[in-house]
Chains A and B, each alone.
Chain A
């Protein structure tokens, strides 16, 4: 991000003697555009908070520990959605982490050039599949597959675990949501990790190999410690994506207000609940409560992203190649 000249801003330009209106105009126009990111963030926070306020005022923090979502009783709470969001996102992260890191290792350390050039864009294409298409596939293909094949097998062999303790009656369940989310975040995590691994200095890798380490020992002893912070950031970004995904999840999870430990039961997440109620909430309070759910999502995504970006920037600063 090198600026061409150290003198920036109209004041500096004037000091140089000649004031050029064109410079001032471009400066102001681009500055306004550059501020749009901050302005939008502020506006989003303000508007969403303002609209959620009636519900926040009425329910307070009890909203977070109330399970009900009941129009008739005028009682709304987010607990089951927070539970569902936590289960689906951490479940997806648990599955996606080893797979993504393995893919990144394959693409950065193992694969020959030709294969690398083909597989890298293919993995990124997976991220380009629209979530609504993945959701459609999830409900009409993956769902039946889970009910007929995967779930009986898992229930039969690992049924003593609470998470596999029931048999699914329909294809819409938490397990389907976890799988769909895993598919969505694997390409995100693996492409960040791949770049991190490629950024590990060759001297260090070669040094480890020259000392007689096997490739895995080199990866464990050199690549992982070097990229540790970056991997953490990649996982946070993947988690953030999983938490915020509304469409694909709402298509496959069953939209049920309930807390179950079994992954084969239907459930709901924060984002999915908002999406599922778009065709109209009955009362103003229900709309405000929906926006309250958006506030929770917004707060989480702000914290997660700021954290991850700060880590990314610190890592990038350490070995600024560019």
Chain B
């Protein structure tokens, strides 16, 4: 291809046309796949919003579910499920957050490399254990013979949350420059003081982001609650030593019924749940971008 003529021949050749056509086809398919994913998200969210909007009013947030009645049923709501979910998720956060952060501190600041690798692998594998197996585990470990409680449901969710919190905290701890640690140690500060008052404050933003994403993720989990806090009444209760109602289980149970009235309630609850999860994870992502930029800028 030393002359201009042969080069242009080459680009006009049948073979080149076929190569370009293949390339174009693949690029179009990739665009189509991305569009498909976004379209599915839009379709799911839109159908939940459309069907759920009808159920949403003040009573929906302040009343409890009414039993099947013929004629004109009194206003029905999901107040007990919202309160129950808040308590169960709160318990999970209280258990998983401190342990997750402390575990990440050990793995990043203290552990020998080999041990850190093994323990991190264990967290990743724990993260891969199906939620329903975690539910069964808590069932045979704590519930059989002792009964369901909201605390046990929270414990099951905490097992799901622990690896998420620990891994995300590890990631931000790794971003803290070693020069900060060395400066603090050189000034004579003890290791624990360096870790808690120099390293950790740098990572607060990242930890909050990770914890928020993890909370949003477990708030929608149903499987761990099935065997641990599912046998509930319709009254508002705040006693975590009893099983409490939850949004995911309310949706799950209502969807199984044939009554279209209950389906509308399920859609309403799904709208509340999906709005909470999506808004919270969106906020966390925006926040993450900002705090990450700040941390990277300081380097």
In the complex, B107 has a CB within 8 A of chain A:
yes
Interface residue? A187 (CB, 8 A): yes
| Contact of A136 with B29 in the complex, beta carbons under 8 Å | no
Q: Could you tell me the dominant secondary structure of chain A's interface residues?
A: helix
**A107 proximal to B (CB < 8 A):** yes
B132 and A297 form a contact (CB under 8 A): yes
Asked if B30 contacts A103 (CB within 8 A), the reply is yes
> B226 contacts which chain A residues (CB < 8 A)?
275, 278
* Mask of A33-75 contacts with B, CB within 8 angstroms, 1/0: 1111110110110011011000000000000000000000000
* Complexed CA–CA distance, A139 and B192 (Å): 53
A212 to B17 Cα, complex, angstroms: 13
Q: Is the CB of B110 within 8 A of A3?
A: yes
State A97–B220 Cα separation when bound (angstroms): 26
Measured between beta carbons, the chain A residues less than 8 angstroms from B83 are none
- B23 engages A126 (CB within 8 Å): no
Chain B 143-176 interface mask (CB, 8 Å, partner A; 1/0): 0100000000000000100110010001000100
Of the candidates B29, B109, B274, the one whose C-beta lies within 8 Å of that of A130 is B274
Task: Please classify how large the interface on chain A is, using the bins under 10, 10 to 19, 20 to 34, 35 or more.
Answer: 35 or more
Indicate if the CB atoms of A251 and B252 lie closer than 8 Å. Answer: yes
- Return chain A residues, CB-CB under 8 Å to B296: none
A130 to B227, CA, bound (A): 18
Give min CB distance, B36 to chain A, whole Å: 7
Does chain B have a CB within 8 A of A211?
no
Chain B, residues 36-66, CB within 8 Å of chain A (1/0): the string is 1110110011011001000000000000000
B108 x A3 contact (CB < 8 A): yes
In the complex, B94 has a CB within 8 A of chain A: no
| CB-contact partner of A103 in B34, B48, B126, under 8 A | B34
CB distance from A2 to the nearest CB of B (A): 6
Q: Is B9 an interface residue (CB 8 A)?
A: no
With A33-B106, A107-B34 as contacts: A133 and B270 at CB distance below 8 Å:
yes
Q: How many Å from the CB of A287 to the closest CB on chain B?
A: 8
Is A294 within 8 A of B132, CB to CB?
Answer: yes
- Chain B residues with CB under 8 A of A305: 124-125, 127-129
- Chain A, residues 100-128, CB within 8 Å of chain B (1/0): the string is 10110111001100000001011111101
Question: Interface of A with B (CB < 8 Å)?
Answer: 1-5, 8-9, 13, 20, 22-23, 25-27, 29-38, 40-41, 43-44, 47-48, 50-51, 98-100, 102-103, 105-107, 110-111, 119, 121-126, 128-137, 139-141, 183, 186-187, 190, 214-217, 219, 237, 240, 243-247, 251, 271, 274-275, 278-279, 290-291, 294, 297-298, 301-302, 304-306, 308-309, 313, 322
Further 8 A-B residue pairs, CB within 8 A, beyond A124-B285, A305-B129: A4-B185, A5-B191, A29-B102, A30-B102, A37-B123, A130-B277, A219-B26, A279-B230
> Which 6 residue pairs are nearest across A and B when measured between Cβ atoms?
A130-B220, A244-B130, A305-B128, A30-B106, A102-B33, A33-B102
* 6 A–B contacts, CB within 8 A, in A order: A22-B192, A129-B277, A133-B274, A215-B27, A275-B226, A294-B133
Measured CB to CB, the residues of B under 8 A from A are 19-20, 22-23, 26-27, 29-34, 36-38, 40-41, 44-45, 47-48, 51, 98-103, 105-113, 116-134, 136-137, 140-141, 144, 159, 162-163, 166, 170, 174, 178, 181-182, 185, 190-196, 199, 216-217, 219-223, 226-227, 230, 248, 251-252, 255-256, 263, 266-267, 270, 273-274, 277-278, 281-282, 285
